[in-house]
Amino acid sequence: MTIANGLRRVCALGMLSLVGVLAACSSNPFEEKPIPACPRAFLPNDTAKLVQFRGDGKDLTDVILEAEFDGYLGDCGYDLDDKVLNVIISPVIRAELGPAAQGRAAKLQYFVALKDPTGEFIQKSVFDVSMAFPNNLNLARYRDEQVTLNVSLDDLWAGPDYEIYLGFQLSADQLDYNRRFGKN
C-alpha cells in the first residue's frame, strides 16, 4: 500500500469486531502517526549546466546549445507495508540555441541518482531529451515526465537521510568546461 507524503494516517480502519480493533493498530484507530520526510534533492553546479560546442571550438560562435535546469517538481511516498521509499521527480530544463545550431531541435541527456546515508550512489538512471524549438524562438522550456526511484529500507526513518541528485549527463570535456567557467 503506497501512501503519499502528505497523507499522515498509518493505520487504516479495518473491520471492527465486537472484541476490539486490529492488533496492528494503536488502541485509537483514528490516531495519526508521523511519516518520514522526503530526501533532499540537489542540482550540483558542475552538472547543472550543459554547453554543446561545434567540433573542438570553445568560442561563443561555436555554441550549438546551452541548457540548464530551471528546477524540478517532486514528491515522495513510503510503502509502509513493504518498507519502500518511492521518489517521484520531474525536471524542468531551459535551453537556448546558439549561433552554431544547424536546426530547430536539440538532444541532450540528464541523470537522476540516489545516494544512500553512507554516501554511496545506489541508483542512477540516464534519460534522453529531445527538444524542439519554434521557428521564431531560440529559447525553449521542457518539463520531463515523472521519473520514479524506489529503494527498499530496513528502517523507514532512514528515508530522509537519502539524497537525490539531478544533472546533465556530460562528457569529460563538458564537465571540465563547467568546472572551469561555471558558477560557484
pLDDT surpasses 70 at 44 = yes
pLDDT surpasses 90 at 57 = no
CA atoms within 13 A on the CB side of 152: 2
What is the Cα–Cα distance from 49 to 178, expressed in whole angstroms? 7
CA atoms within 13 A on the CB side of 23: 0
- Quick: pLDDT tens for 59-98: 899 999 999 999 999 999 999 889 999 999 999 999 999 9
Could you tell me the CA-to-CA distances from 75 to 5, 9, 93, 109, 174 in Å, in that order? 7, 17, 18, 22, 30
Does the predicted TM-score (pTM) go above 0.75? Answer: yes
Per-residue pLDDT band at 7 (split at 50, 70, 90): very low
Which residue type sits at 153? L
